[in-house]
Structure 1
Amino acid sequence: MTTATVDLRSDTVTRPTPQMREAMMAAPLGDDVYGDDPSVNALQQQLAHMLGFEAALFVPTGTQGNLCAILSHCQRGEEYIVGQMAHCYRWEGGNAAVFGSVQPQPLEHRPDGSFALDDIEAAIKPDDPHFAVTRLLALENTWGGKLLPFEFIQQATALAASRGLSRHLDGARLFNAAVRQAQLNGSDAYVEARRIADCFDSVSVCLSKGLGAPVGSVLCASRAVIDRAVRIRKMAGGGMRQAGFLAAAGSYALEHHVNRLAEDHALAQRLAEGLGGISGVQVEAPQTNIVFVDLVGPARARAAELIPYLKAHGVLASGLYRLRFVTHLDVDAAGVDHAAEVVRAFLAQ
């Protein structure tokens, strides 16, 4: 499976497997804007049932899924509490503020991705015309590849509910979290995904990351929230017509690619171990499929040279804010071993 280039930039670079392509070509189609694409409807029902929600909505991207959720829970002049490094705050272009006049109230993360419960409590505004109305708590799982502690999820969402706030989960990698949580609990990944989802009023799940579908996310929520989200999706240009080709890939992924995420996690661990013995490299132990790496000591001065060197030697990585390697279904053991060896060769110069 290893090719000339080992692409570890993200799990978004995956391509449909031959079996997934067959499912896509066989998909019955309709016009989803009219609500009559059978493959889209089947995917929506499949994931809503899997996670315990009344309804679901297929959207082109995880960014749009989060936007539809936030704007369905919040009105103009209201706000959502969110992590300072959460994707739906930092990495989605400020879309809730730009398109919906919904204000984010970011909080500092603890190292494990959680917040102090007192910080959540303090961020909820009093009923006073000087303040935006606090309406929503948004969490993310996994966060930076880390499993958000389930006890924190329970406590934070219970606190939010007690104060009348809705709860949204950016579950772009929910099934990575569920696989990890299942391993820790000796449980089943589908069971753990449902346990996590039960704490929230809405959950957005990305199909085009580790699950390997080419396009799409699904927002799950109550029927009332999804009805609002349909309108927002339309305004945002997310109404696709014969989208069943893409939805069929998502259904295939949910049926066949969830448990195999454990293989990606094992490859990330293998990569971390391969990098761990290299002088000048500091590796954050991965919990799922993302490995973060920092150059330390004298090697730090050469950090800007590393990504071009990797690319020249057949390894692609991301360096947006730290060096990041992400394993996925199009990477194998030989590929991650090669990546570690290229880093070793760079620092040996």
Structure 2
Amino acid sequence: MRWIDLRSDTVTVPTDAMREAMYRAEVGDDVYGDDPTVKKLEEYAAELLGKEAAIFVPSGTFGNQLALFTHCKRGDEVILSDDCHIVMHEVGGASVIAGVQLRTLATHKGEMNPEEVASKIRGEDIHYPSTGLICLENAHSNGRVISLDNMKGVWEIAKRHDIPVHLDGARVFNAAVALEVDVKEITKYCDSVMCCLSKGLCAPVGSILAGSKVFIDRARKGRKLMGGGLRQTGFLAAAGLVALRDMIKRLKEDHDNALLLGRELSNIPGIRVNLEDIHINMVFFDMKETGYDSDKLVERFLERGIKINPGEDGMMRFVTNYWVSKEDIYHVVAVMREVLGT
């Protein structure tokens, strides 16, 4: 049975080209620096992201936490949005791994107000922690893309206070496609950036953390401490190279399919979709007015070969990806109408 999986773009499986590249990959012990395919991936990723160096890590959460661990001293304070992935979906790792305190700010649809960021930077006082890092996220976990002006505003304040900026760019290539800019136009407003090779890019495992050479040299030791020093990683890096070289070019298809899905869902009575918030491949919608329980919807969809997640905080989320076609979108909407009886 072929499944239509809208739970996330993390569910993507490798393409045939990736499987072939993995099969033929030249590998070595990466902890010793002997894996040529990993080296190629890290060099290519650094150049693509406009940074001096890069390091391959097992996951996006690992990459973000390694960035905090590398940038900060224990007891430092990190300024970031209250709805970002590091706060919401990384299991409190910042307190366990880096030993830092998170100072969260409310956002307007994912964007922190630069002036509010400035007001939260700690001055010198015996009672205060030091502000060690500011974190941004683009594209944001809410599916929106943060404007370059907003990023620039936060960046300039950070530089004024000599504080580094880390970008959670799990879907930074989706953001670049949505903004119609080279990804370097986004990453120039951060000192370090993490991007995922999985998700919409279809690699089976792995993310990239990029920054200055000094930063990455320090991060490499931190990666080993955190258990991320892998061995013949070239099999995974080979898929990552295909992801960066080929899969970025087709992300707009996922965005277009998400917008189509959002428009079609908005035509169903009781479903409310904010179409203006569909910037990338995520569709958030409210179906409370239908009176239908989201847990029951998961079961009914599963019976028809469609995988979805239940609601979170009253909102449903469908995510398009490489393996979801336009025809699949129309089928999903038809099943939704059937289940709701509209």
**Shared fold (TM-score, shorter chain, > 0.5):** yes
Residue 135 of structure 1 contacts residue 164 of structure 1 at CA under 8 Å; is this kept in 2?
Answer: no
Q: Secondary structure at the match of 1:179?
A: helix
| TM-superposed deviation, 1:318 | 2.1
Q: Which residue of 2 is the match for residue 7 of structure 1?
A: 5
CA shift at 1:39, angstroms?
A: 0.4
Match of 2:307 in 1: 316
Counterpart position of 1:335: 328
Asked if residue 345 in structure 1 is aligned to residue 338 in structure 2, the reply is yes
Q: Helix, strand or coil: the match of 1:210?
A: helix
Between 283-292 and 201-210, report the one with greater CA deviation. 283-292
Instruction: Determine whether 1:127 maps to 2:127.
Output: no
Any gaps of 5 or more consecutive residues in structure 2? none
Q: Which moved more, 1:169-178 or 1:268-277?
A: 268-277
**Alignment correspondent of 2:155:** 157
Q: 2:135–2:168: 8 Å Cα contact kept in structure 1?
A: yes
The code of the aligned residue for 1:289 comes to N
TM superposition shift of 1:301: 5.3
Equivalent residue in structure 2 for 1:292, among 263, 284, 288: 284
- Is 1:216 matched up with 2:206? yes
- Say whether residues 1:47 and 2:38 are aligned partners: no
Residue in structure 1 matched with residue 35 of structure 2 by the alignment: 37
Three-state SS of the structure 1 residue aligned to 2:201 is coil
- Of 302-311 and 196-205, more deviation after overlay is shown by 302-311
Judge conservation of contact 1:280–1:347 (CA < 8 Å) in 2.
no
Structure 1: segments with no counterpart, 5+ residues? none
**1:246-285 → structure 2 map (5 Å cutoff):** 246-285=236-275
In 1, Cα distance between equivalents of 2:221 and 2:233: 17
CA displacement 1:163-218 (0-9 Å, x = unmatched): 11100000000000011111xxxx5xxx2x01101111000010001111000000
SS at 1:330 equivalent:
coil
Q: Distance in 1 between matches of 2:146 and 2:319?
A: 18
Displacement of 1:32 in angstroms is 0.5
Shift of 1:320: 5.2
By how many angstroms is 1:341 displaced? 1.2
- Give structure 1 regions of 4+ aligned residues with deviation exceeding 4 angstroms: none
Q: How much has 1:23 moved relative to structure 2?
A: 1.0
Report if the CA contact (8 A) 1:146-1:288 is conserved: yes
Question: 2: distance between equivalents of 1:4 and 1:247?
Answer: 28
Query: Which amino acid letter does the alignment assign opposite residue 144 of structure 2?
Result: K
Structure 2 counterpart of 1:288, which letter?
A: I
Distance 1:154 1:317 in 2: 36
1:201 aligns with 2:191: yes
Root mean square deviation, CA, Å: 1.3
Of stretches 313-322 and 214-223 in structure 1, the one that deviates more from structure 2 is 313-322
AA at the equivalent of 1:302: D
Supply the distance in 2 between the matched residues of 1:86 and 1:259 (Cα, whole angstroms).
26
Letter in 2 for 1:140: E
Is the counterpart of residue 83 in structure 1 residue 73 in structure 2? Answer: no
Give distance in 2, aligned partners of 1:267 and 1:170.
24
The one-letter amino acid of 2:188's match is: D
Code of the aligned partner of 1:333:
K
Looking at structure 2, the residues matched to 300 and 229 of structure 1 have their Cα atoms a distance apart, in angstroms, of 49
Counterpart secondary structure, 2:258: helix
> Structure 2 CA distance, aligned partners of 1:77 and 1:306?
44
User: Distance in 1 between the 2:139 and 2:274 partners?
Assistant: 15
- For the residue of structure 2 that corresponds to 1:81, the secondary structure is strand
SS at match of 2:249: coil
Aligned to 1:137: 134
Code of the residue aligned with 2:302 in structure 1: it is K
The answer as to whether partners of 1:267 and 1:332 remain within 8 angstroms in 2 is yes
Take 1:97 and 1:161, find their aligned partners in 2: how far apart are those partners? Answer: 25
